[in-house]
Structure 1
Amino acid sequence: MRSAIGLARSLAIYYGNPLRQRALTRFYAGILKPGDLVFDIGAHVGNRTRALRRAGARVVALEPQAPFSTFLRRTLPRDVVLLEMAAGPQETVAQMAVSRLHPTVSSVKAGFADAALAAPGFEHVRWDAVQQVQVTTLDALIATHGMPAFIKIDVEGFELEVLQGLGEPVPQVAVEYLPGLPRMARDVIERLSALGHYRYNVVRGEEGRFLWPEWRDAAQADAWLAARSPDEKHGDLYARLDTPEA
């Protein structure tokens, strides 16, 4: 029953505003070309997967957590590749700490639940179950499906570990940032900087537009993250590989 309530809550949050979904589709259409390959790591209830597909992308979606994976298997379009697994630094089996009433904050990251309890917005969350999940790597996904134009990663604090399974730069990456846990996104910047020269921008919440008119370098993005108040709205940090054409 608690899992069913949690799924219903997530569906209401992510599908309750059709205008937001259309704005998200327009946003993705502005940063992708038709036919681009995209990895959606942490697909949850599939709102981003569906928006990416409507924008013309070919999508490989990863979601290990039941009941999300079951919902996606039954409802996603057949041309979306759904893998009921997580991504991480190596191929293995891991334990996911699950919040059945707030399943969007379930995480494979060790210690995430303890750290999040001290951050604003998590006061009422309880991680009350454990699920064993299969873990693959971004490199393994690339070997099977090809080089993606874009990787979206929303895995509740496990973003760095996901990127540790990537051995070469990809054109675009987006990771969730949590103002109450700024070190996580800043670690991502360090990891991406080790892979290539990236520039950064931000989307706050589900706004579907970039915050900055210009893309900023790693130091500027890091400084912006460090200056955030813990009670600010979360969002996504976008990284674009800096090429002569960018």
Structure 2
Amino acid sequence: MNQWLGFGRSFVIYCNPLAIRTWRRFYRSHLTTGDLVFDIGAHMGARARAMRSAGARVIALEPQMPFARFLRHTLPKDITLIEAAAGETETEAEMAVSSRHPTVSSLTNAFVAGAANTPGFDHVRWDRRQTVRVLTLDGLIAQFGHPRYIKIDVEGFELQVLSGLSQAVPLISVEYLPAFPDLTHAVIDRLSALGPYTFNAVSGETGAFLWPEWRQASEVRDWLSGLSPTETSGDLFARLG
């Protein structure tokens, strides 16, 4: 029962018409027809569908049930769905699943342990485990080609996903969590090691950049450190050049 309550909550949040229209407009401004994109942590598939509407060729990864099953039956057939996670190496891993709050299911034990005493997460319980297949971004590139954009939303596992990438990609986004700034600081370090990235952020599901100009890594670090733990999470975008 909890699993379906969680599924319903995700459906209401991420599949509402306003959010879908917002992200369609956003991606039409940043992607062009034929761009290859990877959606790592597709969840309900809202972003994958929005990127497809911009003309992109979408490779979507989602390991968590029942979302992978939902995507299997509802995604357009020209979106390639892989029922797997991404990480540093090709392997299998145990995902800590929150049935009532599936958006915070995670492959990172440190994230789950830290969340127990973090504002905004005190109501969350990780009540079951799921074994998932793990691929690497380098492996996906070898199979499908070099992407224009990679979207990563994996609840604290972003650094591990990027550790499986050995080459720069023009545009990458990762979820940032104000309650866990150190996770995003580590991601910024990893991205900066891959290439000369500048950064911008989208708060929540607004589908709009916070800043008129892209910022350097040091500026973004300062901004992250100044956020309240209870502020809305969002996407941190990294752009080459």
Q: TM-score, normalised by structure 1?
A: 0.96
Which secondary structure state, in structure 2, belongs to the residue aligned with residue 43 of structure 1?
A: coil
The aligned residue for residue 235 of structure 1 is 234
The aligned residue for residue 70 of structure 2 is 71
Deviates more, 1:222-231 or 1:80-89: 222-231
Q: Distance in 2 between matches of 1:53 and 1:197?
A: 28
The aligned residue for residue 33 of structure 2 is 34
User: Which string of whole-angstrom CA distances, capped at 9 and with x for unpartnered residues, describes residues 179-217 of structure 1?
Assistant: 011111111000001111000000001001100000011
User: Which string of whole-angstrom CA distances, capped at 9 and with x for unpartnered residues, describes residues 154-181 of structure 1?
Assistant: 0000000000000000000000001011
Runs of 4+ in 1 over 4 A off after TM superposition: none
The aligned residue for residue 3 of structure 1 is 3
Q: Distance in 1 between matches of 2:116 and 2:56?
A: 36
The aligned residue for residue 21 of structure 2 is 22
Which secondary structure state, in structure 2, belongs to the residue aligned with residue 139 of structure 1?
A: helix
* Residue type of the alignment partner of 2:11: L
The aligned residue for residue 118 of structure 1 is 117
Matches within 5 A, 1:194-233: 194-233=193-232
RMSD of aligned residue pairs (Cα, Å) = 0.8
User: Which string of whole-angstrom CA distances, capped at 9 and with x for unpartnered residues, describes residues 27-64 of structure 1?
Assistant: 01111111100000000011111111111111000000
Q: Distance in 1 between matches of 2:159 and 2:180?
A: 13
The aligned residue for residue 13 of structure 1 is 13
Q: Distance in 2 between matches of 1:188 and 1:155?
A: 12
* Residue type of the alignment partner of 1:89: E
**Structure 2 residues not aligned, in runs of 5+:** none
* Residue type of the alignment partner of 2:99: R
Aligned length: 241
Percent identity of paired positions between Structure 1 and Structure 2:
59
Q: Post-superposition shift, 1:6?
A: 1.1
Q: Distance in 2 between matches of 1:74 and 1:51?
A: 17
Q: Distance in 1 between matches of 2:65 and 2:19?
A: 25
* Residue type of the alignment partner of 1:136: L
Q: Distance in 2 between matches of 1:36 and 1:78?
A: 17
The aligned residue for residue 80 of structure 2 is 81
Q: Distance in 2 between matches of 1:40 and 1:239?
A: 15
The aligned residue for residue 147 of structure 1 is 146
Q: Distance in 1 between matches of 2:176 and 2:12?
A: 22
Matches within 5 A, 1:172-183: 172-183=171-182
The aligned residue for residue 129 of structure 2 is 130
Q: Distance in 1 between matches of 2:159 and 2:108?
A: 10
**Structure 1 residues not aligned, in runs of 5+:** none
Q: TM-score, normalised by structure 2?
A: 0.98
* Residue type of the alignment partner of 1:110: N
Q: Distance in 2 between matches of 1:55 and 1:32?
A: 6
Which secondary structure state, in structure 2, belongs to the residue aligned with residue 111 of structure 1?
A: helix
Q: Distance in 1 between matches of 2:117 and 2:49?
A: 33
